[in-house]
Structure 1
């Protein structure tokens, strides 16, 4: 089954200031490991970038750019989105179908918003998902610390059975691809 890597919202504005995502530098390093493995196996890499009209992640602003330290290469694909769902009103599904993708590897920011929503939508569309268990992060919230949010989503998403396709969690260092 052909796979694709979705790197969701790893953008500069989510990695700086008082609202920076938990351990963002470590998560970016792990995402770089996963994306290098994907490219070596000829697996397409998609960078999903959120944009907002409120100024926080305005298109082409510094905050909207891919986070410092995140490795991207010219052959990687980019998808712009305006909701937590990377499929809603975007060309993502069309691009995945054009590349004959049958499975998604998901990582990024924030666990409880865009990673969660995109993963659930992928399942609803029939895509099995490999969630990089140490490759997504959050700022946390008033009720749960960031590590609790991450652990909660690893447990919750991997236990969803109602869509048919399933989510399995894998650590970045353990992820393996078949040789091209």
Structure 2
């Protein structure tokens, strides 16, 4: 097995609370929280990536930027800020993964078609195989696709990307097991 890390993308209050809450946000957060607990129990790093916006929306330190209360953190968890949909671009994530000797990523979070999709593809480009928690990422959808359609589309599409070498496996959260070695 390869040492894994759980990468939690943009599960922030402005994206999961109130009228703009992502589709089934509470259920998705509960699945992510269970994944984080399982990762910690097996000695795998848990990394929270938080978007840092401007002009008040997702601005660092604001209430909307913060993690929701239902998503628990623990001593030893890692936190990475980003300013683009790509968690690797101009962030400390590549160096952190290297220092932790991570060789595979389990990815979940918000929003499917933006930051989750971009980060999954960049992980592949960096040589990391990915396990995408198929029921632990979410979206608001758009004028053409419902949130459920966006999620299903990305699960199918990302699971069929072959050009990078490493692949994406789509596994529901309950079926994910972590390996620290």
> For residues 163 and 63 of structure 1, what CA distance do their matches in structure 2 show?
35
> For residues 67 and 160 of structure 1, what CA distance do their matches in structure 2 show?
32
| Structure-to-structure mapping, 1:15-94, within 5 angstroms | 15-94=16-95
SS at match of 1:52: coil
**Cα drift, residue 68 of structure 1:** 2.3
Q: Is the 8 A contact 2:133 2:173 kept in 1?
A: yes
SS at match of 1:153: helix
> For residues 19 and 141 of structure 1, what CA distance do their matches in structure 2 show?
12
Counterpart position of 2:174? 173
> For residues 114 and 141 of structure 2, what CA distance do their matches in structure 1 show?
11
Counterpart position of 1:151? 152
**Cα drift, residue 177 of structure 1:** 2.3
**Cα drift, residue 33 of structure 1:** 1.1
What root-mean-square deviation, in Å, do the aligned CA atoms of Structure 1 and Structure 2 show?
1.1
Question: 2:116 matched to 1:115?
Answer: yes
**Cα drift, residue 179 of structure 1:** 7.1
> For residues 131 and 121 of structure 1, what CA distance do their matches in structure 2 show?
13
- Runs of 5+ consecutive residues of structure 2 not aligned to the other structure: none
- Runs of 5+ consecutive residues of structure 1 not aligned to the other structure: none
Question: 2:126 matched to 1:125?
Answer: yes
**Cα drift, residue 53 of structure 1:** 0.9
Using the size of structure 1 for normalisation, the TM-score is: 0.97
> For residues 113 and 178 of structure 2, what CA distance do their matches in structure 1 show?
27
Q: 1:41 to 1:137 in 2, by over 3 A?
A: same
> For residues 178 and 91 of structure 1, what CA distance do their matches in structure 2 show?
23
> For residues 130 and 55 of structure 1, what CA distance do their matches in structure 2 show?
33
Q: How many residues in Structure 1 have an aligned counterpart in Structure 2?
A: 180
Question: 2:89 matched to 1:96?
Answer: no
**Cα drift, residue 18 of structure 1:** 2.2
> For residues 16 and 177 of structure 1, what CA distance do their matches in structure 2 show?
29
> For residues 63 and 166 of structure 1, what CA distance do their matches in structure 2 show?
33
**Cα drift, residue 178 of structure 1:** 4.0
